[in-house]
Chain A
Amino acid sequence: MMTPSEEDFELELRSLPGVLSVGVDHLDNGEVDAVTLFVRGQDPESVRHVALQVASLYYPTAAVTVEDANRAPSSRHAPDGRVALVRTDFNVHEGVSEVELSFAGRIGVGRSGSGALIGGAEATLSALREVGYEIPFFLVAVNSIATVRGWPVIVTLRSLSDEGDRIGIAQSNGDLESAARATLDALNRYLSTLELNDA
């Protein structure tokens, strides 16, 4: 079990800009022997400099190594990737829906004040744009329909270039999450062949 001091040590290292992961090696007596940071988007040497300072406060003899993860994704295309729905939140006081998506290490958060159903779809489109996608579609309809197995949500998107409508359907935990998943479902094939914009 980690001591509170070790936990704070690791948290402090993880708080450094660009740090994605921290690996720790111990001596036989349980003392921290070496730490390895995995960083992305930052100069590894400057991160190492600060990490050494932090380590000197907790474990003065520990060695600090920084591994550079600044390598570009193997492809700008996303045929094998998948946009993941990370989180949905609905603020009942303000009526704001919030959707968080993740793709290839990027996080996009979209918000909408149009309630859970329409807001869920709008927030998802907004989050996709934040992740880096160009979405040439606009929202036509969001419907929740009664079936014997629950209340699936159907989202209809229309192409800005008259390529027809795209329809997605999903039933999940509540209207907001269903609307978000239905929106992703509608864009499923489109997203899989698309290139991301530079963030």
Chain B
Amino acid sequence: MRVDERDVAEANGSLEHVYEPWLFLRMLDELAATDLGIGFVYSVLDVLAERYDLTDATIVLHDESLGTQAFRLGRRQVDPDTLEAVGGTPGVYAEPDVVPEVVRDAVRSVCQLSLSLHLARYSAAHDALTNISNRRTFDAALQTAAVQSSRYGWAFTLVIADLNELKSINDNSGHAAGDDVLRLFGFALRRSVRAGDTAARIGGDEFAVILANADGSEVESFLDRLRTTLVPSGIVISFSVGTATAPRESTDPAELYRIADARLYEKKGMIKR
């Protein structure tokens, strides 16, 4: 629209008001209060519903690794007819259809960013195969636990576990079967740790657990829970463990790791050079 046309439209009171600062202020509030994530998408849907008196709304996004993702107002299940009607095309779909295009575009962009950031944050901290913490998260957690143990005397036990036969599974049954074993073991670890513990995959077939507030005597009950969780799968997974406890044996993360690793290989009957 040229300037002169805009002036005329404004004078006639017929200019469509498409810039809505309230939306962006609300979104900024939300950004300041939370990490960008899936929750943000639902918050924006709530804001839209309130502002435009919507009875229903769905945001369809597309992510390279997640594919098409639909989010419906109130965290309700997506309406199949709506999804089919829009053909999975990213956008904001509202009932009644009264949300201005410029608002829908802004909402879609910021929600797309929110989903991507959530995924990036999650991926940076978790192992892609098992969904437990990755090496980076484990290193940070071990460092934190060691510092607290050194400063306050808080006890924790580091458990390192190594799958004994992953290579032969990979060689004999293929890597997909090996991946299934890793997934299953990772899942069992997640089920077996307590709130506050950290379970991580730190190498190909090597896992580590930080048992918080544990002086070593809790290891056996943890291992019992782990074995119990593995039993229903019907897949026999042989693994060896080595442990080290802080502050009794050390408060240095590298030294604790070395002690646990040496005990692990001792149990495996191997000589570590």
Contact = CB atoms under 8 A, between A and B. Distances in A.
Contacts of B190: 57
Contact of A21 (B35, B70, B122, B131): B70
Nearest to B71: A21
A64 interface: no
Given A23-B75, A73-B84, A105-B68, A2 B90 contact: no
Q: Which of A15, A84, A86, A103 has the most CB of B within 10 A?
A: A15
Interface stretch (B38-46, B210-218, B254-262): B38-46
B122 A8 contact: yes
Nearest to B191: A57
A122 B72 CA distance: 35
A98 to B, nearest CB: 12
A67 interface: yes
A2 B2 contact: no
Interface string B13-32: 00000000000000000000
A141 interface: no
Interface secondary structure of B, over-half rule: mixed
B83 interface: yes
B78 A2 contact: no
Contacts of A8: 122
Interface in B50-100: 62, 65-72, 75-78, 80, 83-84, 87-91
A191 to B, nearest CB: 13
A7 B76 CA distance: 15
B39 A6 contact: yes
Contacts, number: 98
Contacts of B69: 14, 20-21
Given A6-B39, A38-B80, A57-B190, A104 B88 contact: yes
Interface in B170-214: 187, 190-191
B33 to A, nearest CB: 8
Contact of B89 (A10, A24, A54, A84): A84
A53 B68 contact: no
Contacts of A105: 68, 87-88
Contacts of A15: 65-66
A84 B91 contact: yes
B263 interface: no
